[in-house]
């Protein structure tokens, strides 16, 4: 079997110097039927390795319900990498950041266990069990056992969070005890404090950066005086948040930084080679004083766009790589544009008044207390004597629509730091709260969602709330069933409404649905949860993967939270991710 190890200055493959030229593809952001296509295109760009994170909350969203099939089939993904003749790097965290919901940690974990990302015994107990399950998949697929895996990473940018060496030592111990024999790495930004605190002497340090390669490699070399230099996250783009711009980087400038990195003899993992999509409710959020939920697309301005088509960066990166390593002669086929057409939307009735397992408590129950993993909880209360006044809430996480007796009053936004609004007289106060995405880093991991703290009306404490969780995917599934049986309801005059459409296809195809004439909500095609849309932008289209479509009649459901400006569903030929940053 092939060996892979660390030499004095290089990685060694069967004892010979070897440069890792890798690209990131997150299996959980790409439809499984499209994994092979993306991996093949990585090889055609000249990559010899594929890197992926492992997202714990993908595999175990609820405690004890482990899944490694379908979208979660890490083993199949690694087998496809191997079948293409490429190596693999696995980064199982347990924390991954990745602009992913809760940084990859399950909500049940962060809501119940103290001492996150530390040597606290309760946390280590859960993490060890998780890692053993991952390594059951990874260990038999290591290069010295005939598989593709050449490197495994311990934690992720830990120096930006802490410096608990006992924690890292425990992760190394469970990794080695689980049969992982390939070299173990860590990654941190090229900052002295982070590189010092985020690793151990026996782990190989790598860097994460996207520019000033020569300078940053020098910083890394001070902390890793022997062995191969590697940038494990060469940032070739960036991510977007709602209300911002679409982030892009200059292809020529990024290629020049890649060239400088390779010219220095370093190995590289391009983050991302193909970003994919935050399907469903998987997007994370930023919060550095202002909460900024991330968009559905994870295009990342990468060499392969969200739909898996080569961009300018694919070709300029390929030219750079060809100076240092063999590159196949073959190029990916030029993709045709997606089908463009328009169909009318049909109103299918209100949906946020769906009956659920409501519970009544003094204060509103959080999403976490309810064990609710979907996007919405509705809170209702009968107002004392029907009097309105100044409504004040300690904290809204993250966006709330307030109504009295079914009549909309306004919204309260965490992003705007809203806490109060004046409400009119009425009998029933309803507050619909959306979890817009969990912050994916630092001390905000695992923070509760919903209405937090006390609620007062003209200074008087308001108690006795009914909390009703709304599962948007289940509601959409019921509406899809109603479409096929022609049992949809008429639209209501007030409040959010569901909309449906049917469209024919000659064959399955990637599609882009333009949401510009809608406002805010969730979209589904044939029951598949495409993700969130919002006129707040910058994103204007949602990616529909070909494998979720079919020849013949297809069904679209949009769960609109505000207003549809024009009752139509427009499908366009290419993604529209918003105005780019100049």
Q: What is the pLDDT along the chain (582 residues), one digit of tens a residue?
A: 799 999 999 999 999 999 999 999 999 999 999 999 999 999 999 999 999 999 999 999 999 999 999 999 999 999 999 999 999 999 999 999 999 999 999 999 999 999 999 999 999 999 999 999 999 999 999 999 999 999 999 999 999 999 999 999 999 999 999 999 999 999 999 999 999 999 999 999 999 999 999 999 999 999 999 999 999 999 999 999 999 999 999 999 999 999 999 999 999 999 999 999 999 999 999 999 999 999 999 999 999 999 999 999 999 999 999 999 999 999 999 888 999 999 999 999 999 987 678 899 999 999 999 999 999 999 999 998 888 999 999 999 999 999 999 999 999 999 999 999 999 999 999 999 999 999 999 889 999 999 999 999 999 999 999 999 999 999 999 998 876 555 444 444 456 999 999 999 999 999 999 999 999 999 999 999 999 999 999 999 999 999 999 999 999 999 999 999 999 999 999 999 998 875
Residue 197 belongs to some domain of the structure: no
Return the H-helix or E-strand segment holding 257. helix 251-263
Q: Please report, for residues 59, 444, 522, 544, 560, the alpha-carbon distance to residue 284 in angstroms, rounded to integers and kept in the order given.
A: 17, 11, 16, 20, 21
Residue 222 belongs to some domain of the structure: no
**Claim to verify: residue 173 and residue 146 sit in the same structural domain:** yes
**Claim to verify: residue 450 and residue 512 sit in the same structural domain:** no
**Claim to verify: residue 444 and residue 386 sit in the same structural domain:** yes
State how far Cα 128 lies from the chain centre.
23
**Claim to verify: residue 144 and residue 66 sit in the same structural domain:** yes
- pLDDT tens readout for residues 491-544: 444 569 999 999 999 999 999 999 999 999 999 999 999 999 999 999 999 999
- Angle in degrees, 0-180, between the axes of helices 251-263 and 213-223, rounded to the nearest 10: 40
Among the three residues 463, 484, 510, which one is the final residue of a domain in this structure?
463
- CA 10 to CA 234: how far, in whole Å? 18
Domain that residue 103 falls in? 4-182+239-254+273-322
- CA 385 to CA 420: how far, in whole Å? 20
Residue 190 belongs to some domain of the structure: no
SS3 349: strand
**Claim to verify: residue 308 and residue 447 sit in the same structural domain:** no
**Tally of domains in the chain:** 3
**Claim to verify: residue 141 and residue 277 sit in the same structural domain:** yes
Residue 213 belongs to some domain of the structure: no
Residue 479 belongs to some domain of the structure: yes
**Claim to verify: residue 130 and residue 277 sit in the same structural domain:** yes
**Claim to verify: residue 169 and residue 278 sit in the same structural domain:** yes
Sign of the Cα torsion 90, 94, 97, 102 reads positive
Residue 330 belongs to some domain of the structure: no
Pure H helices in 450-494 = 472-484
Residue 231 belongs to some domain of the structure: no
CB 450 within 8 A of CB 377: yes
Among the three residues 440, 463, 486, which one is the final residue of a domain in this structure?
463
Residue with tokens 């199982």: 92
**Claim to verify: residue 422 and residue 476 sit in the same structural domain:** no
Q: What is the pTM of this model?
A: 0.96
Catalytic positions are: 157, 233
Among the three residues 430, 463, 496, which one is the final residue of a domain in this structure?
463
Residue with tokens 């020569």: 214
- CA 106 to CA 103: how far, in whole Å? 9
Residue 227 belongs to some domain of the structure: no
**Claim to verify: residue 557 and residue 457 sit in the same structural domain:** no
What's the CATH number where 489 sits? Answer: 2.60.120.260
Return the H-helix or E-strand segment holding 149. strand 149-153
CB 542 within 8 A of CB 508: no
**Claim to verify: residue 135 and residue 155 sit in the same structural domain:** yes
Residue with tokens 């006129």: 535
CB 281 within 8 A of CB 532: yes
- Residue 548 DSSP code: G
**Claim to verify: residue 567 and residue 430 sit in the same structural domain:** no
What's the CATH number where 133 sits? Answer: 3.20.20.80
- CA 30 to CA 292: how far, in whole Å? 24
């Amino acid at each position: 079997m092939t060996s892979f190890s660390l030499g004095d200055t290089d990685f060694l493959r069967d004892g010979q110097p070897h440069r890792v030229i890798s690209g990131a593809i997150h299996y959980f952001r790409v439809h499984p039927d499209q994994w092979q296509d993306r991996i093949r295109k990585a090889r055609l760009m000249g990559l010899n390795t594929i890197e992926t994170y492992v997202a714990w909350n993908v595999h175990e969203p609820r405690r004890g319900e482990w899944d490694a099939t379908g979208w979660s089939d890490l083993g199949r993904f690694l087998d496809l990498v191997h079948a293409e003749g490429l190596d693999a790097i696995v980064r199982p965290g347990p924390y991954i950041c990745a602009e992913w919901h809760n940084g990859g940690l399950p909500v049940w974990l962060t809501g119940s266990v103290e001492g996150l990302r530390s040597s606290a015994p309760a946390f280590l107990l859960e993490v060890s069990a998780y890692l053993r399950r991952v390594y059951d998949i990874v260990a038999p697929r290591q290069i010295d056992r005939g598989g593709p895996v050449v490197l495994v990473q311990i934690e992720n940018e830990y120096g930006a969070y802490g410096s608990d060496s006992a924690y890292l030592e425990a992760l190394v111990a469970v990794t080695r005890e689980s049969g992982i024999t390939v070299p173990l790495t860590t990654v941190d930004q090229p900052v002295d404090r982070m590189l010092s605190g985020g690793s151990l002497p026996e782990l190989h340090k790598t860097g994460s950066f996207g520019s000033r390669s020569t300078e940053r490699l020098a910083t890394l070399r001070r902390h890793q005086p022997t062995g191969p230099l590697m940038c494990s996250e060469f940032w070739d783009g960036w991510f977007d948040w709602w209300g911002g711009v679409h982030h892009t980087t200059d292809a020529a400038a990024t290629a020049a930084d890649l060239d400088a990195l390779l010219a220095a003899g370093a190995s590289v993992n391009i983050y991302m080679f193909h970003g994919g999509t935050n399907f469903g409710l998987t997007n994370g959020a930023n919060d550095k004083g202002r909460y900024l939920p991330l968009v559905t697309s994870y295009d990342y301005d990468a060499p392969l766009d969200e739909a898996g088509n080569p961009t300018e960066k694919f070709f300029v990166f390929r030219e750079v790589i060809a100076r240092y390593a063999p590159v196949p002669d073959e190029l990916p086929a030029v993709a045709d544009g997606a089908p463009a057409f328009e169909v009318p939307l049909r109103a299918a009735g209100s949906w946020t008044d769906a009956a659920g397992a409501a519970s009544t408590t003094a204060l509103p129950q959080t999403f976490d207390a309810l064990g609710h993993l979907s996007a919405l909880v509705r809170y209702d209360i009968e107002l004392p004597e029907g009097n309105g006044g100044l409504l004040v809430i300690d904290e809204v996480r993250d966006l709330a629509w307030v109504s009295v007796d079914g009549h909309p009053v306004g919204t309260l936004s965490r992003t705007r730091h809203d806490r109060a609004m004046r409400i009119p007289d009425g009998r029933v106060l309803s507050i619909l709260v959306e979890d817009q995405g969990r912050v994916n880093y630092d001390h905000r991991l695992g923070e509760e969602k919903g209405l937090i703290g006390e609620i007062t009306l003209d200074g008087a404490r308001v108690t006795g709330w009914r909390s009703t969780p709304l599962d948007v995917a289940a509601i959409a599934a019921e509406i899809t069933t109603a479409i096929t049986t022609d049992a949809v309801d008429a639209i209501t005059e007030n409040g959010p409404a569901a909309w449906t459409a049917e469209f024919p296809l000659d064959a399955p195809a990637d599609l882009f649905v333009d949401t510009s004439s809608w406002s805010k909500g969730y979209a589904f095609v044939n029951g598949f949860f495409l993700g969130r849309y919002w006129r707040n932008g910058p994103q204007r289209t949602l990616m529909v993967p070909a494998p979720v479509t079919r020849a013949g009649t297809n069904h679209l459901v949009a769960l609109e939270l505000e207003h549809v400006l024009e009752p139509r569903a427009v499908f366009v030929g290419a993604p529209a991710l918003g105005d780019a940053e100049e």
